[in-house]
Structure 1
Amino acid sequence: MSGYEESTNMVTFDYSQYYAYEDTSSAPCDLSNLEDFGKVFLPTVYVLVFILGFLGNSLVVCVLVKHRNQTNLTDICLFNLALSDLLFVLTLPFYAHYSVVRKWTFGDFMCRFASGSHNTGFYSSIFFMVVMTMDRYIVIIHTHKAARYRTVRAGVALSLIVWMLSLSVSLPDFIFTKVNESEGSSCRYDPQSDAWKHYNIFTANILGLMIPLLVMVVCYSKIIPILMKMRSTKKHRVVKLIISIVVAFFIFWAPYNISLFLRFLKTKLPGDECTLEKNLRLSVTLTETFAYTHCCLNPIIYAFVGQKFMRRVLQLLKECVPWIPLSATIDFSNSSLRKSSAASRSSEVTSTFIK
């Protein structure tokens, strides 16, 4: 997904072509300002997202591995969501370097591997969010049937299916992305078929936004009324969390997908062609980097909001960094957890949101 560009309606990772404008029927369009902007803006944001995303998701993985003996389906989904985001952010340093030098210096294998891994991480992250949404829907709407499938074995099998689906969707990027030495060592998605040229745009919009958003809206719209009827001290907090999940997903990914689709339709849009090209490329750049920061929020939205999980995080930090005074915070978390548990025994439902 990084650096999606269209040159003759083609999606590509080619940052050296990012600001090129090909139009033989008119004078060249000066995009030098965009080039200077992207050369500074893209690597800066990519590095920040890499650092924050790596630290947050690594912490989630470490906590869940440490407490693997207490694993349930929710923990398995959280673990795989964190792995997906880690796979996603680990490709960003390559593209940060690429956006600066505007040459791919890591070879053809890494060009294909980085492109495919980037998309695999992106789709698996989205798909695991959908799985967690559907899991919560079944737990709350079909409570009596939930125990039949919410086993560790089912969670592992479901995770394998999601990873295989994500890999399958990303397979064209492994196959068609390659280094083109004739264009200044560019790493670009360059299939011969027109259908495959538009593949990433439509899969990003349909599988990466429309279907996941529809599932979230439908499931959570049925969950919220039931939660509001429960006698739980956590219900308002859970409802706020649900709204935050849906709104955050839409705000972070919708602008980027809309920008990609507008670039696909750019020949049919009114206005000066050069100005339109500048605005669309700037829009893709800004919305893309903004969307990537969502992987930094996933640990906060899905894991760190829970008192039990935060207590585990603080305990792990205390063990790894013993000189940091965290004992008071851990005690507070423990007392809060006990108080919350005593206040409501319908926590099995709400705990699928706040652990």
Structure 2
Amino acid sequence: MSGDGANATDTTTIYDYSQYYEFDNDFIPCNSVDVRNFGKVFLPTLYSLVFILGFVGNGLVVCVLVKHRNQTNLTDICLFNLALSDLLFVVALPFYSHFSAVSDWTFGEFMCRFFSSSHNTGFFSNIFFMVVMTLDRYVVIMHTHSVARYRTLRAGITMSAFVWMLSLGISVPAFIFTKVINGSHGLGCEFIPENDGWRLYNLITINVLGLMIPLLVMVVSYSRIIPTLVNMRSTKKHRVVKLIISLVVVFFLFWAPYNISLFLLFLKSEGMLQGDACKLENNLRLSLTVTEALAYTHCCLNPIIYAFLGQKFMKRTMQMLRKWVQGIQPTGDFSSSSVKKTSVIS
């Protein structure tokens, strides 16, 4: 099952770190045993924990939103899709945990391509839905009366379909160019583009579409929203904005270090970073391994944010859990009179 690049030794293959799990590149001339051994112990443990927490947490979010879909608004539609995006990550983690432990991809080329593209799709859809929520809050607060009639369920579904199609389109190269290759430590699953253009495309989409442009949109939007909110007395609007800002801040804190590591590795492959080649290579590989793991943990944090900031979400979750597991009692004041009839989450 080895790909066309199984015997390649050129720099294009050597320093390609465009996929999320490529801590096990077999074509590096430097000795990276310490980094490899660290990954074998650290990553399987972390991935297993993140899989459990992420699957349970995001599964609860999906169940709550589906159960109360008759109360859904545009914000809840975005949060539902955020949960689906996170589930795309956690489903693959048991496979990556096994790969991290044995340094051998045993699940075939289709699964290799599928998980690679699903990671890209989940990443871009996650950030795009956060941008949509930010823009939605902006028009609701700054242009309340003129946009109210456009915030319909149909508009939300149409917008969701567009975001998913866009995310899938951006991720197509990941499916096409990811291959199973035969290395010195066993089979690996790696992104091997046919030329440097696709490698540069991958770097640009992740850092520009996935970080710089969304961050710019959010900074500009919230710089206008927050001063306006200071003069408002609407608790509902304050609560929703607080929730969205928390989601955005956590996303960038967990993903930005990984994006920076990818960019530094690109600079290293182009010879733009000077210093001890092997020491720099191993430090960057270690940085990629750690920041990659940090980015993965993000997929189990959104439900925790909902639990702390979403009073109604906690109420709905406890009601559902009481039906599933006898003896669970609600915590805090979650009576019907204590929660306003707004969105399911907030």
* TM-score interval (norm. to shorter): 0.7 to 0.9
Counterpart in the other structure of 1:201? 203
Counterpart in the other structure of 2:164? 163
Q: Deviations over 1:80-120 (max 9, x none)?
A: 11111101211111111111111111111111111111111
Correspondence 1:254 to 2:261? no
Note the C-alpha offset of 1:145: 2.0
Note the C-alpha offset of 1:19: 6.3
Cα distance in 1, alignment partners of residues 104 and 163 from structure 2: 33
Counterpart in the other structure of 1:18? 25
Q: Deviations over 1:112-141 (max 9, x none)?
A: 111111111111111111111111111111
Q: Deviations over 1:142-170 (max 9, x none)?
A: 10122222111111100000000010010
Note the C-alpha offset of 1:321: 1.0
Counterpart in the other structure of 2:128? 127
Q: Percent identity of the aligned residues?
A: 65
Structure 1: runs of 5 or more not aligned: 23-28, 342-346
Give the letter for the 1:135 counterpart.
D
Counterpart in the other structure of 1:307? 311
* 8 Å Cα contact 2:77-2:156 kept in structure 1: yes
* 8 Å Cα contact 2:46-2:293 kept in structure 1: yes
Q: 2:15 aligns with which of 9, 14, 20?
A: 9
Counterpart in the other structure of 2:32? 31
* 8 Å Cα contact 2:120-2:171 kept in structure 1: yes
Correspondence 1:98 to 2:105? no
Give the letter for the 1:288 counterpart.
E
Counterpart in the other structure of 2:212? 210
Higher relative contact order (CA 8 A, sep 6+): 2
CA RMSD of aligned residues (A): 2.5
**Alpha carbons of structure 1 residues 76 and 333: separation in structure 2 relative to 1, 3 Å:** same
Q: Please, what TM-score do these two structures have when normalized by structure 1?
A: 0.86
Q: Please, what TM-score do these two structures have when normalized by structure 2?
A: 0.88
Q: Deviations over 1:23-59 (max 9, x none)?
A: xxxxxx3221111101111111111111111111000
Cα distance in 1, alignment partners of residues 161 and 237 from structure 2: 32
Note the C-alpha offset of 1:21: 2.2
* 8 Å Cα contact 1:49-1:296 kept in structure 2: yes
**Alpha carbons of structure 1 residues 20 and 37: separation in structure 2 relative to 1, 3 Å:** farther
Q: Deviations over 1:222-261 (max 9, x none)?
A: 1111111012456776665455344323321211111110
Note the C-alpha offset of 1:325: 2.6
Note the C-alpha offset of 1:278: 1.1
State how many pairs are aligned: 332
Counterpart in the other structure of 1:269? 273
In structure 1, the residue corresponding to 2:14 is in which secondary structure? coil
Give the letter for the 1:188 counterpart.
E
**Alpha carbons of structure 1 residues 128 and 256: separation in structure 2 relative to 1, 3 Å:** same
Cα distance in 1, alignment partners of residues 54 and 177 from structure 2: 28
Mapping for residues 284-323 of structure 1, pairs under 5 Å: 284-302=288-306, 305-323=309-327
Note the C-alpha offset of 1:187: 1.3
Cα distance in 1, alignment partners of residues 38 and 260 from structure 2: 22
* 8 Å Cα contact 2:71-2:344 kept in structure 1: no
Cα distance in 1, alignment partners of residues 208 and 28 from structure 2: 28
In structure 1, the residue corresponding to 2:335 is in which secondary structure? helix
Structure 2: runs of 5 or more not aligned: 1-10
**Alpha carbons of structure 1 residues 250 and 162: separation in structure 2 relative to 1, 3 Å:** same
* 8 Å Cα contact 2:76-2:344 kept in structure 1: no
Counterpart in the other structure of 2:189? 187
In structure 1, the residue corresponding to 2:301 is in which secondary structure? helix
